[in-house]
Structures are given as C-alpha cells and as structure tokens.
C-alpha cells in the first residue's frame, strides 16, 4: 500500500506517517520548498537511513502550484491520499485571510480536480475542522450540525468540506472529511494555546520567564490526543463506503482548567503567573465547543487511548525535558 500525505511535517502528518509505516505502507509526503528546512517532527524518520528513501519519500510541491501537485500525484500513484496541509491557525487567519483561503480552500479544490482526472483515483481524506461550525447553535456538534463559520479559516474549511462532499456525490470519488475538534500533543506548534500554556509552565518552573499573557479564560474546547485522531483518519479510509466523521472526545475543558492542570504539574499556582490580555481575544470566537464522536465510535470502532489530563502532563514533561537539555548544552 502507498499513501501520499500533505502536511507531513506537521503534528498530525508526522504521527500519521509513523502509523502508516508501522502498518507496512510506503509513505510519500509533499513538502514545501523553503530557504530553511524545518522537519523536526520527522527527524526520527528523516534521519533514519533504514526508512528515508526506502519506505519514506518526500516530494517538493505547493498547494498553490497545480502543475507540480499533478506531477507528484501522478508519479506516486498512491492508494490513499491524506490531505492535512493548510494554514491552520484560526487567530492568524484574521491577519492573513487571503493566503489562508487560497491554501486551505483552493488548495483542496486543486487536489480534487487532479484526482477527478485520474483513471484510478486514491481514496482521499480531507482534514476538516470544528471551525466550520463557528459559534454553534446546538451542543454537542455532530456531522449534521449546520456550518456557521466565524473566522476566515473556518470559512475556508467549510468551502473545502463542502467540496469534498460534492466530489463524492457528483464524481464518485472515495473522499471523506475528518471533522477534527482540537487535538494536541508534545508536537503541537508553539502558537497554539495548549502548547503556549505547557511551555510557559515549564519555563516559569525553571526560572526562564515570569508570566504568561492569555485571552479569554472561560473559553472552552474539546481537546483530544493527536495520535488517537490520526488513527481514526486511517480507519475512515478502510471502510467500504466513504462518509464524514466528527472526531472529538465529547468532553470540554476551559482555558482555566488547562492553566490549573499544567501549572499544578510543576508545583505552581497559575494565578501568580498568568495575566489576561484583551489583545489575545479573537474578534469572533465560540466560547463553548463540544463534539459528538458517536458516529466514529459506532461505525469505525474508534477508541481513544489518552484523555485530557495525562495528555497535558505529557506535554509539560516534554517541554521540561527539552528545556533542560538546552540548558545543559
């Protein structure tokens, strides 16, 4: 089996690559050509001579370059295609809305058009987002919840999510949406709130900084564990028929809960180190987010292995270990 991944250098892409390689796949990843190469999440694979260029192959292409995308896709001839790439930071999408929509929305359209022309198209998964629901009018949110995005990123994902459904129903492609609620890990980028909090707790405990500015303390999210989510993505492409699935935990936690857990893990009182900053509050944001994973549990047999508390503690521990290694060196 061959799999092709966009976003392979990201959190989800790196975990998915490891999962697929463990299942005996030949894995191909699409990466952007840039002046600096940042592939730290893939180092365990990229620097392994038994894996790289034998079982794992990387190809240069950009989501705004249809010609190069077509060349890579037709060359690899994958059995499964996981589309995980795009500008995925919600807050940043308010600052760079045009590039967010081009990469996230039109990038998906370009790929679907290429797949439509292939004589044997791979099974296709698009990593959608709970941001398509915006500020939902019902809770919890499931696959039938209306899309009411309230950010440029959410609008772009809603566009791409609907396109996947259209190409499935109109062109007969095996394509589906993984509607992912927030999912975290030690590989999460430092511009996301969970990693910001965990890294700050670690740094403050080591005396490397003194405070952390945050936005809305009462905002809550349904936070899951990234490796659990990529396993569900793989399960989705193993089904007889394609369909969309909400991937979530069904449990919500506030920013306040996150702060208390992370800081307590290093023996600190978060109230002594955290200050609110209204500049960090998004122009439009859903205060309470909760997903309903019932369909994924029933149809895929999806079982999550790591809950919120041990996940956050592992993220703090990973940052502590990394920081101590830097200090020693």
Name the token pair of 315: 């993220």
Cα distance between residue 280 and residue 282, in whole Å = 6
Active site residues: 129, 131, 153
Contacts 24+ apart (CB under 8 A), 138-143: 139/288, 139/290, 140/222, 140/248, 140/250, 140/290, 140/291, 140/292, 141/246, 141/248, 141/289, 141/290, 141/291, 141/292, 142/246, 142/291, 142/292, 142/294, 142/295, 143/179, 143/244, 143/245, 143/246, 143/295
Which residues on neighbouring strands pair with residue 141, listed in sequence order? 291
- Per the listing, tokens 């940042």 go with 38
Q: Return the number of other C-beta atoms located less than 10 Å from residue 113's C-beta.
A: 15
In the chain, what is the straight-line distance between the N-terminal and C-terminal CA atoms, in Å?
A: 42
């Amino acid at each position: 089996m061959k799999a092709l991944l966009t976003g392979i250098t990201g959190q989800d892409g790196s975990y998915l690559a490891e999962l697929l390689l463990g299942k005996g796949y030949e894995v191909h990843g699409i990466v952007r050509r840039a002046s600096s190469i940042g592939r730290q999440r893939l180092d365990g694979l990229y620097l392994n001579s038994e894996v790289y260029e034998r079982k794992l192959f990387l190809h240069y292409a950009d989501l705004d370059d249809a010609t190069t995308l077509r060349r890579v896709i037709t060359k690899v001839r994958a059995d499964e295609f996981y589309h995980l790439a795009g500008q995925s930071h919600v807050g940043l999408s308010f600052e760079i809305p045009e590039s967010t929509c081009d990469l996230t929305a039109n990038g998906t359209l370009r790929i679907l058009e290429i797949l439509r022309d292939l004589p044997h198209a791979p099974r296709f998964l698009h990593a959608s987002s709970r941001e398509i629901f915006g500020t939902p009018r019902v809770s919890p949110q499931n696959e039938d919840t209306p899309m009411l995005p309230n950010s440029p990123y959410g609008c772009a994902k809603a566009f791409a999510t609907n396109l996947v459904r259209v190409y499935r129903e109109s062109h007969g492609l095996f394509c589906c949406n993984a509607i992912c609620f927030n999912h975290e890990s030690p590989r999460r980028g430092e511009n996301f709130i969970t990693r910001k909090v965990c890294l700050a707790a670690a740094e403050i405990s080591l005396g490397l900084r003194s405070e952390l500015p945050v936005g809305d303390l009462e905002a809550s999210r349904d936070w899951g564990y990234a490796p659990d989510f990529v396993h569900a993505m793989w399960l989705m492409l193993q089904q007889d028929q394609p369909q969309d699935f909400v991937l979530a935990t069904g449990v919500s936690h506030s920013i306040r809960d996150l702060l208390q857990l992370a800081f307590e893990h290093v023996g600190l009182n978060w109230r002594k180190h955290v200050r609110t900053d209204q500049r960090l509050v998004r122009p439009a944001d859903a205060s309470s987010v909760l997903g309903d994973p019932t369909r994924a549990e029933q149809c895929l047999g999806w079982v999550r292995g790591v809950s919120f508390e041990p996940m956050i503690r592992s993220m703090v521990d990973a940052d502590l270990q990394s920081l101590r290694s830097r200090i020693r060196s």
